[in-house]
Amino acid sequence: MTKYIGILTAGGDAPALNAAIRGVGKAALGHHGMHIIGFRDGFRGLMENRTAALDGGRLSGILTTGGTILGTSRDKPHKMPVGGKILDMTDAIVGNYHDNHLDCLVCLGGGGTAKNALRLKKKGLNVITLPKTIDNDVAGTDITFGFDTALNIATEAIDRLHSTAHSHHRIIVVEIMGHRAGWLALGAGIAGGADVILLPEIPYDVESVAEAIRERARGGKPFSIVAVAEGAISIQEAAALAAKDKAPAKGKAKRKAASEMDDGEADAAEILYADRTLQLAKKLELLTGLEARLTILGHLQRGGTPSAADRILATRLGTACADLIAKGTYGVMVAAKGEGTRPVKLEEVAGKVKTVPLDHALILSARRVGTNFGD
């Protein structure tokens, strides 16, 4: 029997989303003879039944393009802003799934999307997710697509910042995306030769960072690049957060991943990140006597042409996804595992964040070349 599959992209966009849509679509249509339909703007489009035809023609010429041809949103099925209210629209979504005679819904997204997909699975829908995010923080997969492209962009940015920092004898603090996990800052920091790398996983002591910079200046290098993940916090901030978490339930503020936040919240969080990073640059200027400048890479890291590695990964995951649907395997994320792929139950992915282990080989190796982590 011909299978009907729906596909949507949810959460923040990432390079190679179109390569993944193409991978799923071409394998589903051409190889397995299925029908495929797109939904616009994530779960909102499914709730509003706004569809996009995905025939062979629409799937051509998108492998190399940035963004998502389907559009995306951070809307969640169970908490959707509708007419000025936040409503649970799960039933409408379930209804549209059935009205479109779907056998499976493919959701391309990060940890937050896996959580939403699991909610739909619990309502009886067949769902599959693919791990997408530049943050590389999805549990259960070796890597996510979008990460490699962002890594290249952030590395090139650090390369370019080096020559200007060197010429002006300045500190340049560069803020890199990654609110819960520091994979991107760590990778780009190592590849770009940052002198200091600050990660959400390692609360930093600003005095230790300043001393590393002063030490470089004493050694004849009066310039430094500080690569900061947007979620990096000082030891004082970490202690304050820990105290808040221990406080009785009233007023207890649970830190949310940006992927779980509503749009307004995510915007506010970004302003906070930027403010915190600016304060860090000012403190370093004060403590070292060197001029400091701040560069926030922001959404530059998410845009544009995907790298070859991301195109390959997205194609690999997308085609494996179509194969799993053909076999009737649902309720899983298609994870990257070594050279291949493997289905991982959504229960093992949803609500989890893959952070950088403190003893990760990359951290050890960065320490060997003299990188300061602020600890």
Q: Which residues are known to be catalytic?
A: 135
Cβ nearer to ligand F6P, comparing 113 with 341 = 113
Cβ nearer to ligand F6P, comparing 231 with 343 = 231
**What number of H helices and E strands is found in the chain?**
11, 13
Q: Which residues bind ligand F6P (CB under 6 A)?
A: 12, 110, 133-135, 177-179, 230, 258-259, 266, 270, 302
Cβ nearer to ligand F6P, comparing 66 with 92 = 66
Residue 350, helix vs strand vs coil: coil
What distance in Å separates the CA atoms of residue 320 and residue 223, rounded to the nearest whole number?
A: 47
| Smallest separation (angstroms) from ligand F6P to the CB of 265 | 9
CB 346 within 8 A of CB 333: yes
| Smallest separation (angstroms) from ligand F6P to the CB of 66 | 14
| Smallest separation (angstroms) from ligand F6P to the CB of 215 | 31
**Cα dihedral across residues 330, 74, 277, 243: positive or negative:** negative
Residue 245, helix vs strand vs coil: helix
Shortest CA distance to 200 belongs to which of 257, 151, 245, 144? Answer: 257
| Smallest separation (angstroms) from ligand F6P to the CB of 340 | 26
CB 7 within 8 A of CB 36: yes
What distance in Å separates the CA atoms of residue 344 and residue 329, rounded to the nearest whole number?
A: 11
CB 247 within 8 A of CB 239: no
| Smallest separation (angstroms) from ligand F6P to the CB of 365 | 24
Which residues have a Cβ under 8 Å from the Cβ of 373 and sit 6 or more positions away?
196, 197, 198, 199, 202, 204, 363, 366, 367
Shortest CA distance to 170 belongs to which of 304, 291, 296? Answer: 291
Q: Which two tokens stand for residue 44?
A: 């909102």
Cβ nearer to ligand F6P, comparing 102 with 184 = 184
